[in-house]
Amino acid sequence: MNTESKRQQRFAGVIQQDLGELFQREGGAWAPGAFITITRVRMTPDLAIARVYLSFLNTKQAKDDLANIKSHANEIRYKLGARIKNQARIVPHLEFFLDDTNEYVEHMDKLFDEISKEPRQPE
């Protein structure tokens, strides 16, 4: 398993916080009506690429909203650069991914509920 260095983790935290504030203020322009949460940011070892995982609440078309955000990636990167210009030498390229952890948890909960409802076999 590939572990991230402290430097990568620290920079990912900065990116996550600043992107979170950016999406809170301006996310409605890219995904109208959706509440967007940045669940995780992973940095490449050279800090040139940030893989940003987004979770969408209050929307039925999360994939469409994600596609819209991807199409505005350069604009988002520019606005992020204005925020972190004093903290980083380069502004990383942003790659956005859908974080479907909540859907996976709900699916697993349903499976466990179905299993618990099945009659037990005598031993």
Amino acid type, 26: E
- In the chain, what are the domain boundaries? 6-117
Residue 83: Cβ within 10 Å count: 17
List helix spans (H) across the chain.
6-30, 62-71, 73-84, 101-117
Q: Are 62 and 56 in contact (CB under 8 A)?
A: yes
Specify the pTM. Answer: 0.78
Query: What is the pLDDT at residue 105?
Result: 75
Ramachandran area for residue 58 (φ above 0: left; ψ -120 to 50: alpha; else beta): left
Q: Give dist(CA 15, CA 83) in Å, integer.
A: 10
Q: Give dist(CA 109, CA 105) in Å, integer.
A: 6
Tens digit of each residue's pLDDT (9 = 90 or more) over 94-113: 999 998 777 777 778 888 88
Tens digit of each residue's pLDDT (9 = 90 or more) over 33-84: 888 889 999 999 999 999 999 988 877 888 888 899 999 999 999 999 998 8
Q: Give dist(CA 86, CA 90) in Å, integer.
A: 10
Which CATH number applies to 6-117: 3.40.50.300, 3.30.300.20, 1.10.340.30, 1.10.3470.10?
3.30.300.20
